[in-house]
Amino acid sequence: MSLLTNKDLMDKGRKDGYAIGAFNINNMEILEAIVMAAEEEQSPVIIAASEGAIDYAGIDMLVSMVCTAANGHNIPMSLHLDHGKDFEVAKRCVDAGFTSVMIDASSLPMEENIAVTRKVVEYAHARGVSVEAELGRLAGIEEHVSVEARDAFFTNPQDAIEFVKQTEVDSLAIAIGTSHGAYKFKGEPRLDFTRLNEIAGLVSIPLVLHGASGVPEDILALCQQYGAQLPGAKGVPNESISEAVKMGIAKVNIDTDLRLAFTGAVRKVLAEKPEAIDPRKILGPARDLMKDVVKRKMKLLGSSGKAKNYS
């Protein structure tokens, strides 16, 4: 199947009440794990690559691998730039064959964010590529933080209306309390569902939840059993993800959970088989464990069995 856009994937998901998982890749094993999981679950999937991944693997290599995977499987998938920092990065990815790009100018004043995003939208849409933008700042918020401080980070619902109107962006990443990495909360996990519900009722485009890895207890325990130092790691509970999807989240970004699975599996092999030098025997178990994690996420998001909706 040819690569689709994020808009193609998310519009159907949003209409039918499920979300699409966006899983970050850095190498072949991670891509294979994701695609194998999508095949087994018959789930649509978004393959995401950050600027760091592009620097590591090379943009042509990443595009070639993902296109090969798409052509070899009858699974609806897209290739998405995650957190592009400026127009030039987004343009480079569009020109290279990405079918979706994210421009993250959320650190800029809203007027500048709108201007940068609009420029990316005009370039990408002219070439059949969908665009995601971000409004608000993604940062874990402690329980005792003041309402004023929360508002300074979280997406303002009224701003979302104006932002979507002026940019004509295809999807919007919003800040409601998640954060990147393995340490998402210092207190009890808490997302601002009231804010999410309000934004979902005000804008007509799909909403995106970044920093949504769950840091599964069994995967974390495996990492720590074999020497990883991850005290206090805490992710987004499955119940919160399910609630967010019910309220309108159509795309959920997952990266940390794959990193943890990769790390845990590799550490286990090297600890139990110190004689191992074959990369396939070291990385193969990591691929298998990442596949298991991706399958869990697809079930959680409700996208399992939905590949047939795109045929």
Q: What are 90-99's pLDDT values in tens digits? A: 999 999 999 9
pLDDT tens-place values along the chain, 311 residues long: 799 999 999 999 999 999 999 999 999 999 999 999 999 999 999 999 999 999 999 999 999 999 999 999 999 999 999 999 999 999 999 999 999 999 999 989 999 999 999 999 999 999 999 999 999 876 544 333 333 445 558 999 999 999 999 999 999 999 998 877 876 766 677 889 999 999 999 999 999 999 889 999 999 999 999 999 998 888 899 999 999 999 999 999 999 999 999 999 999 999 999 999 999 999 999 999 999 999 999 999 999 999 998 97
Q: Are 76 and 310 in contact (CB under 8 A)?
A: yes
What is the end-to-end Cα distance of the chain in Å, rounded? 9
Q: Are 108 and 86 in contact (CB under 8 A)?
A: no
Beta bridge partners of 130: 100
Instruction: Say whether 23 sits in a helix, a strand or coil.
Output: strand
Q: Does the active-site annotation cover 82?
A: yes
Q: How far apart are CA 6 and CA 172, in angstroms?
A: 12
In single-letter form, the type of residue at position 115 comes to: A
In single-letter form, the type of residue at position 3 comes to: L
pLDDT for position 152: 53
Q: How far apart are CA 113 and CA 135, in angstroms?
A: 8
- What are the DSSP calls for 117-143, one per residue? HHHHHHHHHTTT-EEEEEES------T
The values of phi and psi at residue 152, to 5°, are -70, -25
Catalytic residue among 82, 170, 255, 257: 82
Q: Are 302 and 14 in contact (CB under 8 A)?
A: no
pLDDT digits (tens, 9 = 90+) for 146-166: 334 455 589 999 999 999 999
pLDDT for position 143: 36
pLDDT for position 183: 64
What is the widest separation between alpha-carbon atoms in the chain? 60
CA dist 33 → 25, 45, 98, 173 (Å):
10, 12, 20, 25
pLDDT for position 142: 38
pLDDT for position 139: 55
Q: How far apart are CA 19 and CA 137, in angstroms?
A: 22
